[in-house]
Structure 1
Amino acid sequence: MRVEIIKCLQDNYSYLLIDDTKNIGCVVDPGEAAPIIKHVEGNNIELKYILNTHHHYDHVGGNLELKKRYNSKIVGFKEDKDRIPEIDVLVEDNQKWKGENFEAKIYHIPGHTSGHIAFHFFLEKKIFTGDTLFSLGCGRIFEGTYEQMFNSLKKIKELPKDTQIYCGHEYTLQNSKFCESNDPDNSNLKSKIEEIKEKIKNGHPTIPSILSDEIECNIFLKAKDVESFSKLRDLKDNF
């Protein structure tokens, strides 16, 4: 499975997952249709599935146009069936979803929204975390609770350490400033920030990140309990 990173809207990332043996693909969180269409048609890929991590418009805005154009199946969390446009396949926590040669375990990771999920392609060691876990950050809490978000991050943290993290936005540099302000003596973080700056300077995405790096550098994953996590999340909201 090959992953192409596609920029959408202002700072969103959609991801095109490609099975080169069949020339078919899935797209994760198409915030808009046009960049996906350009890539799919430019590479002669049959878009079979649309995978949504949550219902926010900047993650589902391309659903209808893509489904209409390619007759793709839309996959999302069963409890968001009334909020994800044109959803076809309802998945639930800990289920294994399989379509063609694509296979992912579903994790319900509420906090940012009540129905947020992640798609963990465990054979390839890649997880698509939407707006729950960012590189060096985590999502704002809109519909859930601090405890839910803390537990959702904990669930991701328990995956194999070499898992690649594909998140919903290019927020890494800004996130790094908050991490550094709260963890100024972290030498691993300092090294990661230099890598981030180099990637951005060369016009490259900072994504994917590696879970082991996030555990060492992401201040939210270093929080020991809900209370300390809550304080950090409040500080970040006003940073």
Structure 2
Amino acid sequence: MALDLVTIPALSDNYTFLLHDSESGATAVIDVPEAGPVDAALKDRGWTLSEIWLTHHHDDHIQGVEELLSRHPARVTGARADKGRLPPLDRALSEGDSFDFGGEEVFVMEVPGHTVGHIAFHLPGSAIAFTGDSLMALGCGRVFEGTMDQMWQSLQKFLTLPAGTTLCSGHEYTAKNAEFALTIEPDNAALKSRADAITAARARGEPTVPSKLSDELATNPFLRAADEPVRRNLDMMDAPAAEVFAEIRRRKDGF
């Protein structure tokens, strides 16, 4: 039986997610920008929180954990490499580690760049990945702590996932990301179509997250740094893909 996935807006432009197994009753929340919206979503559905999974240490992803735990005792999972900057962890994991949730295996991916201890959670059985602020809808996180090369290598890991994977990222940045992406590939028909759909969705007040990896492969400039149209538009045909990525990230930082 498929797991239930719920997308919950939080703060001004964050997202948190609930993942629920109806057979066992297990419920996980992935990142906790604030406790209130999670409480409300649990109450509306009659679910009991059993797990908290954290992608990275930034306050807008963890600041609601303590309050949430005061009402919902739950097992907290995060990166072993960053346990000193995360809330107290019951389960500290690294690249290649896995655990069971609702009868499915959850794999941990280390994806440094945005932070040096950033991780993602991949559930192959449900074709879902929780990517936090690493790979995002039409974008990627700013490189705050790691290096450009680290972020590029992290993004390459997502290319190994099936194209139909649902990507649950941490922010509603997609409209701005689309505006920037069009400066990199103004003739990309798939990107133009997606940008129009994003504008319409936001006008209706609908989230643009999660997204599909297949859409990111076709439209996200940060995944397309090795592709000829992007290289040509940047006049970087002979540059290594990592250098092309770094140039795109620098341009986005100043956009």
Give the structure-2-normalised TM-score: 0.91
Provide the residue aligned with 1:233 in structure 2: 249
After TM superposition, which residue ranges in structure 1, 4 or more long, deviate above 4 angstroms? none
Provide the residue aligned with 1:160 in structure 2: 162
Whole-angstrom distance in 1 between the partners of 2:185 and 2:90: 44
Contact 2:79–2:93 (Cα < 8 Å) also in 1 = yes
Q: Structure 2 stretches of 5 or more lacking a match?
A: 227-240
Q: Deviations over 1:67-91 (max 9, x none)?
A: 2211101100101111111211111
Identity of matched residues, %: 41
Aligned ranges 1:163-202 → 2 under 5 Å: 163-202=165-204
Q: Deviations over 1:114-171 (max 9, x none)?
A: 0000000110001010000111101000110000000000101221111111100000
Match of 2:58 among 56, 59, 72: 56
Whole-angstrom distance in 2 between the partners of 1:78 and 1:86: 11
- Which letter does structure 1 place at the counterpart of 2:244? S
* Matched length: 239
Give the structure-1-normalised TM-score: 0.97
Whole-angstrom distance in 2 between the partners of 1:99 and 1:5: 18
Q: Deviations over 1:19-77 (max 9, x none)?
A: 12233310000101111011112222110000000010100111111222111011001
SS at match of 2:50: strand
Whole-angstrom distance in 1 between the partners of 2:44 and 2:137: 29
SS at match of 2:245: helix
Q: CA RMSD in A?
A: 1.1
Contact 2:10–2:37 (Cα < 8 Å) also in 1 = yes
- Larger Rg: 1 or 2? 2
Q: Structure 1 stretches of 5 or more lacking a match?
A: none
Whole-angstrom distance in 1 between the partners of 2:25 and 2:202: 30
Whole-angstrom distance in 1 between the partners of 2:202 and 2:25: 30
Give the C-alpha shift of residue 102 in structure 1. 4.8
Contact 1:23–1:44 (Cα < 8 Å) also in 2 = no
Aligned ranges 1:128-139 → 2 under 5 Å: 128-139=130-141
